[in-house]
Amino acid sequence: MDLGLTHRRALVMGASKGLGFSAAKALADEGARVFLNARNADELTRRDAMLGGVGFHAGDIREPGVAEQAVTKAAAAMGGLDIVVANTGAPPGGDWDDLNLDDWDAAYLLTLKSTVRLIRSALPHLRGAEAGRIVLITSVGVREPLPGHVLSNAFLTAATAAAKTLAREVALSGTTVNTIQSGYIRTERNRALHEAEAARSGRTFEEVTATAADLLPMKRLGTVDEFGPLCAFLCSKQASYITGQSIAVDGGLLHSLV
């Protein structure tokens, strides 16, 4: 199937590894031109070369101006912008008693405010493009809150609600807005979480990972290569009538009907 992404201009945030790079690679594999943003310039240099060398901006999206700079540089490098993939990563895990107000402030800056900055800056470009696309990468915790992840549950849910609202506001322009809810995927973050749990519990990393996999009907964690293609589809011409939706890539983890 031709997704109609050849020469489409995409900005992908948090694109140096994990789910962000998976999305960027899937778009590039379908012919899109992809501009990257993340914190690590060395890693971005390597990833940019792998995807064809469109360009990148190194910066921490929690810092004022970084999201706006990424949009400006991406549009300048590619002569415009058709697609934005908002991927902030997740804040630290923890329960209410583990976290202080500074943790809440930091999580707000990372997951919600940076996304608002990014989309506000990108909207003039997307409204002027033919069939603009916005995709937010979130978590299954938006639909069924995950124990030990109160910050992610709270702020990614807020980002999802904002995206749902935006989808209605920009629908007449032909711009779609959707979110992808990530489940248990083999990313660097999930590996770090499992290693930390292994250290706390006295179990091995393999035992912790097996316990997580046992929660899933498929009895295995997903791979990043199973995540990115959905992002590419939601950015495609075939997805022009899909907007305001949240779709899980979770191996059947979620039990809810909606």
Answer yes or no: is pLDDT of 258 > 80.
Answer: no
* Beta strands 176-182; 246-249: pairing state: parallel
Answer yes or no: is pLDDT of 90 > 90.
Answer: no
- CA angle, residues 26, 168, 154, in degrees to nearest 5: 70
User: How many CA within 13 A on the CB side of residue 131?
Assistant: 14
Stated pTM of the model: 0.94
Q: What is the pLDDT of residues 163-192, one digit of tens each?
A: 999 999 999 999 999 999 999 999 888 888
The arithmetic mean of pLDDT across residues 93-104, rounded, is 94
Please state, in angstroms and as integers, the Cα–Cα distance from residue 33 to each residue in 11, 54, 149, 182, following that order.
9, 6, 35, 24
Structure token digits, residue 213: 């996999």
Q: Which residue has the higher pLDDT, 155 or 210?
A: 155
Mean pLDDT for all residues in the chain: 95
- In terms of phi and psi (left: phi > 0; alpha: psi -120 to 50; beta: otherwise), the region of 80 is left
Q: What is the pLDDT of residues 194-242, one digit of tens each?
A: 888 888 889 998 988 988 899 899 999 999 999 999 999 999 999 999 9
Helix (H, G, I), strand (E, B) or coil at 114: helix
Q: What is the pLDDT of residue 256?
A: 85
Q: How far apart are CA 169 and CA 153, in angstroms?
A: 25
